[in-house]
Chains A and B, each alone.
Chain A
């Protein structure tokens, strides 16, 4: 199996929140990541779901995610809660980071519910960088809020705002006057982020960085068999689940220069002339992924039955 992760532990960390620890099936070191990064997990139901990495990047052999059971969702989180077991192996893409942490003198973190997940490694980073930080963590009730014990052990900078105790948090009051040395990171439901944006209206525009929960738009994706057509030779190759495009090319005697073989370095980029790639790399940004005219053949696959490559 290429580009897959094995479930090594699962643990209930709050009402409806399951933490899952993942490792390489062969025990190899996983691709590195930075705080704010997420994984694409491909579930056996054909759904792709994105989860922020919330573990310790100093552990090079494990990823950790936390999954909220979404009642009216399309079933991705429910499947993970109900069916994912230790030992299961899931294909994945990434890690990628659309919510990177930038250097700052002080950090203010605003989390709502499961939005705490990308912020956890950022808080670790602030601690490690010896930067002052504060966290406003809102949720419905304390038992629904993951990682509270861990956060509260960090000291007095954490304000927990459980709705059943204190109502909706007053973000503006918590943020205070514009602070030219601080950066605000927010992740959570739209209402909280809108309130945060409004509260930051008088701050410098670069101060606020947020990640919104977006409804996953990518439809079915799974490791289905597909055909790779090589334009220059007309060769057709069948790529089965468990085999990478790169391996298929090599078996056919077509050499593509590679380096990391984890989708992180960008060496094996190949132009795509027809068909839709299923991007699993950490390199291409949203614009390039959308363009769909190139792919990293070491990890990426096809969303269509056939891909024509400029080889």
Chain B
């Protein structure tokens, strides 16, 4: 008979602090240490459990009944701490509260909507790439492509006014920093917290949203009483929190991947229909969203360990997406790979509801580039940015040759 050992004493402890500046710039050492030490470890620095194993992360994500998000998907445990803003809906809601907002978002961002938008977005992407090439082709791809494109098409589709688009990125940076501890990064973001939060809240109000956009459709769902009028602005807010930075950095990573793997760029140019697979491979390879926390709803066994009620588990998506138990040669970015089943968008009940939107944004931009750009190469060393939750670039100087 096996006796289950319980909680922190039962698993190896790791002293590394995932939020220390050196680990935020390059997380490899931390992710590898967690994943290769044991299926589940304890992080002394923050008194949370962590896992970087593909199968354990997947199990936690699939088991929404026992591993919940209502106590926050960041480090803070809402069972014992007051959240800095009203919890995200549906991101930080468990069933039953999760169901209705999720269904509304699924409908608003559904296949028919995307089919309707595809042509417009492709034309926007073509125009952007033509403009960049007309400017000589030396670009900061972070600003000129990876940010510029999503910041144009997605907020337009939501129905936001055209001004202050860069502040949407600043808000996202703040939100994803706030999923970590109250460290210097958070404090840096927090300087603008009040101002940006107030502005975002005003953007989510019905009267400030274009009647043709996703935001207005969410409000219309509240007219039908599919969600409440109190939920509507929070559901709109979830598009602005979760739908911008993640896509921007995902696109930055695929551009970086191609710039540093010219043979893969040649393959994409020869077969632009590979764009979809390429983007998912980049999401697997780089995991722009690195970390998600879930919390035990009750005492539960995970990887042979008995965990108490309301314990936080840090799910290291970046580690799971490089788990050699699941992926062959995981560190390699290659279009040969079928990246299906990666955890970069999560999995299960809370899997990214905007994943098809993100894929389409990346697909049309890559298609526009593949049709026009023969060579895509680094023009200068890129500079990594730091964020408590995201894997980000500060600058990405590229040279695009027709």
Interface of B is mostly: loop
What 1/0 flags go to A195-212 for Cβ under 8 Å of B?
A: 000000000001100000
CB of A100 within 8 A of CB of B100, answer: yes
Is A104 in contact with chain B by the CB < 8 A criterion? Answer: yes
Instruction: Given A32-B348, A128-B96, A261-B341, check contact A102 B111 (CB 8 Å).
Output: no
Name A57's contact: one of B63, B95, B231, B351 (CB within 8 Å): B95
Asked if B156 is at the interface of the complex by the 8 Å CB criterion, the answer is no
Are B341 and A103 interface neighbours, CB within 8 A?
no
What's the nearest-Cβ distance from chain B to residue A124, in Å?
9
Distance in angstroms between the alpha carbons of A183 and B228 in the assembled complex: 12
Partner of B225, one of A35, A206, A265: A206
Say yes or no: is A294 at the interface (Cβ < 8 Å to chain B). Answer: yes
Contact with A along B69-102 (1 / 0, CB 8 A): 0000000000000000000000000011101100
Instruction: Give the contacting residue for B351; candidates A102, A125, A259; CB below 8 A.
Output: A259
Residues of B within 8 Å of A266, CB to CB, are: 111, 356
A235 contacts the other chain (Cβ, under 8 Å)? no
Check A258/B111 contact, CB under 8 A, given A103-B227, A267-B356: no
A34 to B345, CA, bound (A): 22
Query: B111–A288 contact, CB under 8 A?
Result: yes
Docked-complex contact A284 and B340, CB < 8 angstroms:
no
Specify which chain A residues have a CB less than 8 angstroms from the CB of B338 in the assembled complex.
250, 255, 257
Residues of chain A within 8 A of B140, CB atoms compared? none
Number of interface residues of A (CB under 8 A): 38
Closest to B59 in A: A29
Q: Which of A89-114 contact B (CB under 8 A)?
A: 97, 100-104
Tell me, in angstroms, the Cα distance from A261 to B342 when the chains sit together: 12
**Which residues of chain B from 20 to 65 have a CB within 8 Å of any chain A CB?**
62-65
Within 8 A of A (CB), among B204-251: 223-228, 231
A287 within 8 Å of B (CB atoms): yes
Return chain B residues, CB-CB under 8 Å to A103: 97, 100, 227-228, 231
Min distance, Cβ A171 to any Cβ of chain B, angstroms: 21
Asked if B361 lies at the interface with its beta carbon under 8 angstroms from chain A, I say: no
Does B276 lie at the interface of the complex (its beta carbon under 8 Å from any beta carbon of A)?
yes
Name the residue in A60, A183, A206 with the highest tally of chain B Cβ atoms < 10 Å from its Cβ: A60
Q: Would you call A259 and B340 a contact (CB within 8 A)?
A: yes
How many A-B residue pairs have C-beta atoms within 8 angstroms? Tell me: 83
A143 CB-CB contact with B under 8 Å: no
B349 at the interface (CB under 8 A from A): yes
Interface presence of B339 (CB below 8 A): yes
Q: Is B323 an interface residue (CB 8 A)?
A: no
Cβ of A190 within 8 Å of any chain B Cβ, yes or no, is: no
A269 within 8 A of B: yes
Given the interface contacts A32-B348, A260-B347, does A101 sit within 8 Å of B111 by beta carbon? Answer: no
From A60, A257, A259, A283, B63 is in contact (CB under 8 Å) with A60
Q: Specify which chain B residues have a CB less than 8 angstroms from the CB of A101 in the assembled complex.
A: 96, 99-100
A265 to B351, CA, bound (A): 8
C-alpha gap A257/B342 in the complex (Å): 10
Query: Is A129 on the interface with B (CB-CB < 8 A)?
Result: yes
Contact call B99/A34, Cβ cutoff below 8 A: yes
Question: With the chains together, A104 CA to B97 CA distance in Å?
Answer: 11
Q: Which residues of A contact B107 (CB under 8 A)?
A: 285
CA distance A231 to B266 in the complex (A): 25
Asked if residues A32 and B351 are in contact (CB atoms below 8 Å), the reply is no
Q: Which residues of B contact A35 (CB under 8 A)?
A: 99
Our pick among A102, A128, A207 for the contact of B100 (Cβ within 8 Å) is A102
Q: Is the CB of B63 within 8 A of A34?
A: no
- Contacting pair B340 A258 (CB below 8 A): yes
Instruction: List residues of chain A with CB within 8 A of the CB of B228.
Output: 103
Q: Closest residue of chain B to A258, judged by CB?
A: B340
Residues of B within 8 A of A255 (CB): 277, 338
B173 touches A (CB below 8 Å)? no
Residue of A nearest to B274 (CB): A255
**B110: interface (CB < 8 Å):** yes
Q: State A252–B224 Cα separation when bound (angstroms).
A: 47
Which residues in window 266-310 of B have CB below 8 A to A? 276-277, 280
Complex Cα distance, B355 from A57, in Å, reads 25
- Tell me the smallest distance from the CB of A4 to a CB of chain B, in Å: 19
Min CB distance B107 to A, Å, is 8
Q: A28's closest neighbor in chain B, by CB?
A: B62
Residues on A with beta carbons closer than 8 Å to the beta carbon of B152:
none
- In chain A, positions 173-227 with a C-beta closer than 8 Å to chain B are 183, 206-207
A104 to B96, CA, bound (A): 12
Q: Report A161 CB to chain B, min CB distance, Å.
A: 27
- State A254–B362 Cα separation when bound (angstroms): 22
- A259/B341 in contact, CB under 8 A: yes
Q: Give A285 to B112 CA distance when docked, in angstroms.
A: 10
Instruction: List 15 extra interface pairs beyond A32-B64, A59-B65, A102-B227, CB under 8 A.
Output: A29-B63, A32-B348, A57-B65, A60-B62, A97-B103, A100-B100, A101-B99, A101-B100, A206-B224, A257-B340, A258-B340, A258-B341, A260-B348, A260-B351, A285-B107
List 21 A-B pairs, Cβ < 8 Å.
Answer: A29-B62, A32-B64, A32-B349, A57-B65, A60-B62, A60-B65, A101-B96, A101-B99, A103-B100, A103-B227, A125-B96, A129-B96, A257-B277, A258-B340, A259-B355, A260-B347, A266-B356, A284-B111, A285-B110, A287-B112, A288-B112
Interface of B toward A, CB cutoff 8 Å: 62-65, 95-97, 99-100, 103, 107, 110-112, 223-228, 231, 276-277, 280, 338-342, 345, 347-349, 351, 355-356
Counting from the closest, the 6 A-B pairs by CB-CB distance are A206-B225, A258-B340, A34-B99, A125-B96, A58-B65, A102-B226
